[in-house]
Structure 1
Amino acid sequence: MNSHAIAAGHTERLATVDALLPEMPALEPVEGAVSLSATAGDSVAAGLSVRTEAGPDSVDSPWRALVEHRLEARLTGPRPEAALDALLTRWDEHLKAVAPPGDAETAATVVRPSRDSPGSAELLRRGFAPVLVIAVRPADRLAVTGPPATPGVHIRPAEADDLETAVGLELELQRYDAQFGSVTLREGAEEAITADLSKQLGRENPTLWIAELYGRPLGMVRVQFPGETSWIGHRVAAERVGYLSSLAVAEPARSSGVGSALAAHAHQVFDECGTEVVLLHHALANPRSTPFWYGQGYRPLWTYWQRRPAVYRSR
């Protein structure tokens, strides 16, 4: 079966699973990538393994291993889990040839539709864990105008004087998420965050807001509007895609309504500019963010299954 037929079967199968998944094209070979295929009876899998690197000082480095081997898979046939298992066997053979054993800065990652559950047990048996999720929230166009008021909370665009507060909140968020394997704390993180957030200040169309609780700045939210989200917009079947980059609330203000007020404000801003869906990443094991975001109308769309190190040392 050729790659286009496999992709067509894969897309047809997933169309019954999640209407917000985009059409998934055939996996075409690209420079530096390795094409893989496997069969299991009448079921077939096609895969593409892509290796990427990030410098330790890059903005992306806290959110990934410095070297990542990512497998894109297309599965078709009556037993997709068996096809995936066979594909993972082929991929493991490849990884053992190219990845240093026991290197915690080398990860193997499989990004799968969250509702495509066949194959989950096979990933777990091979040492993969569901670490990160892309969650989706369709626009709520029937909502009343404006978010509900939270006593004592005032939300305003961030100003230059808020930079230190925003950096501190982002660092606090990274330190908390590091407990769940979705963040690696890096030297120079404060400098990288400062440079990144500085670009958000003073924009005519604000993308960074501060929440004050009785006059104290204790929370923030960052967003990307449609037109800035091409890097992730292909992950959902929608044209106008917004992205909620981060939402952080200082420890003393948690459970005070600040987080919900910030989320409601961001959703109002997205709705006002005609956003169809909003995406965000969150650590699946985080006992705060997972129930919080799903209480705000999000649900899992894609799940990042990760094994880090990519290859374990032989015992």
Structure 2
Amino acid sequence: MRVAGSLLGAQTTRFEQVDPLLPPAAPPPDGQVLTAALPGGDRVAGVVTHSTFEPGTATTLWSALQLWEMHPLVGATGGAGMDVLLREWARLQARTTAGPDSACLLTWPSRDTVAAQPLLAHGFTPLTSLAVRHFRAGTPMRRAPQAGVTVRLATPSDLETVLALELAELAYSALVGAAVLRPDAERVKRATVVRHFEQGDPMWLAERDGVAVGLAHCRLMDVVADSLIATRLRPGRWGYVNCVSVADDARGSGVGSELMAVAHHELHSRGATGTFLYFNPPNPLASVFWARQGYRPLWTSWELRPASALR
């Protein structure tokens, strides 16, 4: 597809103008190719992929069972190009059989706000943001510990405590984001937490009077060129903040900030030059908390459920 090469170059230039932290625009994966033309003759393209996730897998806790994802190549055409491409996708989706547990998904740079209006007009909601935080020169100094709160690394003996806090976070996220609280969530989460303990991923517990009141579940990741995550982040060593959960009766008391002060210090000490995470913009707690922690959105995932609702 000759048009794809020129669109990819123009899209990379657009990304550089919109946000200097974005990696170059990535070639789309294999899938259903769509093309569309603007009134002036400019052409845009995209690839739609279809995935089906088996019940009982970890992915089903944050995704519909059937997922159609668009990978746009709109070059420098902005919102107009996004609109005509979404119209073409809607025509394709109308010929597709999608059940109630299905979704359409499109991820786009958060600061390229010209895409927001057409996405909203076609029924999409900004459910998830990938946000980033970069460390300044030198290891960040830890502030004085909060009185009455201690933070320590969790061990496998803390499995039940970690699991309870992760399930509480999942239940809350299901109210305000893309997460899905499925009947087998406890079994799936348990297996996932066990695996992360086996991998040695750092999980910090905050305790008050010996009782766990918060969790920060993190991971170190080396982002290398040509890896899947390199389509979202520039290469380097990153700390991934996988899950932060504060007990309901401890929210607003500084526990989350204390956890992240420790996590940021320790991740940086282990070589991370920045950290990233996913949060839900509709979440009234997370959207405020993470900004205060120095994070800002890099990519926004726009979602529509069920997939048959695409217009």
**TM-score band w.r.t. shorter chain:** over 0.9
The Cα of 1:283 is off from its aligned counterpart by 1.0
TM-score between both structures, scaled by the size of structure 2? 0.92
Q: What corresponds to 2:187 in structure 1?
A: 191
Task: Label 1:269 to 1:104 Cα distance change in 2 as closer, same or farther (>3 A).
Answer: farther
Q: Deviations over 1:78-100 (max 9, x none)?
A: x4211111111111111111233
Unaligned 5+ runs, structure 1? none
Q: What corresponds to 1:58 in structure 2?
A: 57
Determine the C-alpha separation between the residues in 1 that align with 2:293 and 2:221: 20
Q: What corresponds to 1:49 in structure 2?
A: 48
The answer as to whether partners of 2:56 and 2:188 remain within 8 angstroms in 1 is yes
Q: What corresponds to 2:270 in structure 1?
A: 273
- Which of 88, 106, 127 is matched with 1:90 structurally? 88
Q: How many equivalent pairs are there?
A: 307
**1:212-251 to 2 correspondence within 5 Å?**
212-227=207-222, 231-251=228-248
The Cα of 1:44 is off from its aligned counterpart by 3.2
In the alignment, is residue 282 of structure 1 matched against residue 288 of structure 2? Answer: no
Q: Deviations over 1:50-80 (max 9, x none)?
A: 1111112101111010111000112224x42
The residue identity in structure 2 corresponding to 1:247 is: V
In the alignment, is residue 15 of structure 1 matched against residue 11 of structure 2? Answer: no
The Cα of 1:221 is off from its aligned counterpart by 0.8
The Cα of 1:39 is off from its aligned counterpart by 2.1
The answer as to whether partners of 1:44 and 1:80 remain within 8 angstroms in 2 is no
The residue identity in structure 2 corresponding to 1:73 is: P
Q: Deviations over 1:279-309 (max 9, x none)?
A: 1111110000111011000000111111101
The Cα of 1:180 is off from its aligned counterpart by 1.5
**Identity %, equivalent residues:** 31
The answer as to whether partners of 2:204 and 2:217 remain within 8 angstroms in 1 is yes
Task: Label 1:13 to 1:233 Cα distance change in 2 as closer, same or farther (>3 A).
Answer: closer
Determine the C-alpha separation between the residues in 2 that align with 1:62 and 1:172: 13
The Cα of 1:312 is off from its aligned counterpart by 2.8
Q: What corresponds to 2:133 in structure 1?
A: 137
The answer as to whether partners of 1:57 and 1:188 remain within 8 angstroms in 2 is yes
Q: Deviations over 1:201-253 (max 9, x none)?
A: 366x5511211112211111111102389553431123222211000011111
TM-score between both structures, scaled by the size of structure 1? 0.91
The residue identity in structure 2 corresponding to 1:264 is: A
Determine the C-alpha separation between the residues in 1 that align with 2:310 and 2:23: 38
The answer as to whether partners of 1:221 and 1:262 remain within 8 angstroms in 2 is yes
The answer as to whether partners of 1:132 and 1:283 remain within 8 angstroms in 2 is yes
The Cα of 1:200 is off from its aligned counterpart by 2.9
Determine the C-alpha separation between the residues in 1 that align with 2:197 and 2:118: 46
Determine the C-alpha separation between the residues in 2 that align with 1:236 and 1:211: 29
- Which of 288, 291, 303 is matched with 2:288 structurally? 291
**1:111-126 to 2 correspondence within 5 Å?**
111-126=107-122
The Cα of 1:27 is off from its aligned counterpart by 3.0
The answer as to whether partners of 2:71 and 2:106 remain within 8 angstroms in 1 is yes
- Which of 205, 208, 214 is matched with 1:210 structurally? 205
Q: Which ranges of 4 or more aligned residues in structure 1 deviate by more than 4 Å?
A: 228-231
For the residue of structure 1 that corresponds to 2:10, the secondary structure is helix
The Cα of 1:43 is off from its aligned counterpart by 3.9
The residue identity in structure 2 corresponding to 1:156 is: R
Higher helix share: 2
Q: What corresponds to 2:28 in structure 1?
A: 27
- Which of 77, 80, 83 is matched with 2:78 structurally? 80
Q: What corresponds to 1:67 in structure 2?
A: 66
The Cα of 1:141 is off from its aligned counterpart by 3.0
